[in-house]
Amino acid sequence: MKEFELINRYFKGRGITRRDVNLGIGDDCALVTVPQNCQLAITTDTLVAGVHFFDDIEPRALGHRALAVNLSDLAAMGAEPTWVSIALTLPSIDQQWIEELTDGMHEIAEYFNVQIIGGDTTQGPLSITICAKGTVPEGTALCRNGAKVGDWIFVTGPLGDAGLAIESRKQGLTIEPEHLKHIKKRLNFPTPRVAAGQVLRGLASSAIDISDGLLADLGHILNMSQVSATVNIESIPTSDAMKASLGFEQQLPFILNYGDDYELLYTVPDSNKSMLDVKLRQYGVEAICIGQIKSGEGQIDLLHKGEKFTFKHQGFEHFSKDLS
C-alpha cells in the first residue's frame, strides 16, 4: 500500500462532514469558513514513540490520545474544536495497526464534531503531529496572562493518574487490577475538557491545560500574569486509585509534578466564584478550588493543613535532559 492508497482508505470519506468545510482531503489545501465575529484558535502537538508514548501502545489508544491532547489545548482557550490536520510518520505499513489507529482518531473526532481535513503521510520513525483548529467568539478566548491578585485557583478533576500509570510500568509498582485499569485509561484515553472550557469564557480570568504538571503549568500562568500563588495540597483532587495505591507523601510527585492529565487549571475572580459550580455541573464537571492568587513574581507557596510545605518541583520540559 502506497501513500495515496493509505489516505484514501483510512482518511478520505471517513468521519463526519462539517458544513463549514468547503474543501477537505484530496487537494493541496483544505478550505474552511470561519464563522463571523469569531477568531481562529490553532494548536500543534507532536507525539513521538518512546518520548510521549510507549512503543507498544494500543494503536486505537494512540489515535485517541493524539487528537485528545490537541483538543485539550483548544479547551484551555475556551474554543470550540472544528478541524484537524494530521501528519503521520510510519516506519512501515501495517494495515491492521493503521486501521485501529485511525479508528481511535475518527471516534474522538466524531464525538467532538471535528472533521479531519488533511495532512501528510511519510515513512520514518513513528510519530504523529496534529494541527487542531477551533473557533472562539472575538474577545472571549481564555489566556494565561489574565490572573489577578485575589483570584481563586481551580482544577476540573483529579491529578496524577497518568503519571502513576507511567511509573507503574517503569518501576513495576504493585497496583490492584481495577485501579491499574483506571489509571491506564486516564493515560491512554484522556478526556479533553472542551465543554468546561467554553463554560469558563466570561467567568475565568486565565486558563491552561495540565500537560506538564500542576506546578509547572501554574507557573506559566503566574509568569505571564506577573503574580504568585498559594496552593493547598490537601485540596488537590485525587482518584480512588491514587489514594488506594500510594500514601500521601508518595502521591505528591504525581499530583504536583507529573503531567498528561489534561485537566484544566484556571483562575476565577471572587465575583464569579458563586456561579461557577452551577454552570460546570451541567456538564458533569466539578469546580475544585485548590488555592488563590497573590501578589509576587511567579512563586508558588505550598500549604499543608495551613502550614508551609517544602517540595522540590520540576514539570516536564523538552531538552531538559541529555537523551544521548
Domains and CATH numbers, the chain: 3-137 (3.30.1330.10), 152-309 (3.90.650.10)
Residue 233 has pLDDT above 60, yes or no: yes
* Range of weakest confidence among 27-36, 111-120, 302-311: 302-311
State yes or no: 44 annotated in a binding site: yes
Query: What is the Cα–Cα distance from 24 to 130, expressed in whole angstroms?
Result: 16
Residue 178 has pLDDT above 60, yes or no: yes
pLDDT at site 10? 80
Residue 157 has pLDDT above 70, yes or no: yes
- Write out the H or E segment, with its range, that includes residue 168: helix 161-171
Q: What is the mean pLDDT of residues 196-219?
A: 97
State yes or no: 9 annotated in a binding site: no
C-alpha cell at 204: 475565568
Burial class of residue 2 in the structure, from the number of CB atoms within 10 Å of its CB (0-12 exposed, 13-18 middle, 19+ buried): exposed
Mean pLDDT of the chain: 92
Strand partners, 136: 39
State yes or no: 28 annotated in a binding site: yes
3-state secondary structure (DSSP) of residue 93 = coil
Query: What is the Cα–Cα distance from 263 to 163, expressed in whole angstroms?
Result: 13
State yes or no: 56 annotated in a binding site: no
Output b/e per residue, 135-163; b: 16+ Cβ within 10 A.
bbbeeebbbbebbeeebbbbbbbbbbbbb
State yes or no: 212 annotated in a binding site: yes
Q: Taking a C-beta distance cutoff of 8 angstroms, is the pair 136, 207 a contact?
A: no
DSSP structural state of residue 35: P
Residue 312 has pLDDT above 80, yes or no: no
pLDDT at site 319? 35
Q: Taking a C-beta distance cutoff of 8 angstroms, is the pair 196, 266 a contact?
A: no
**pLDDT band at residue 313 using 50, 70 and 90 as cut-offs:** low
State yes or no: 45 annotated in a binding site: yes
State yes or no: 43 annotated in a binding site: yes
Q: What is the mean pLDDT of residues 25-52?
A: 95
Q: What is the mean pLDDT of residues 278-289?
A: 92
Percent of the chain with pLDDT over 90: 81
State yes or no: 209 annotated in a binding site: yes
Amino acid at 47: L
State yes or no: 144 annotated in a binding site: yes
pLDDT in tens, 123-145: 999 999 999 999 999 999 999 99
Query: What is the Cα–Cα distance from 164 to 219, expressed in whole angstroms?
Result: 22
pLDDT at site 48? 94
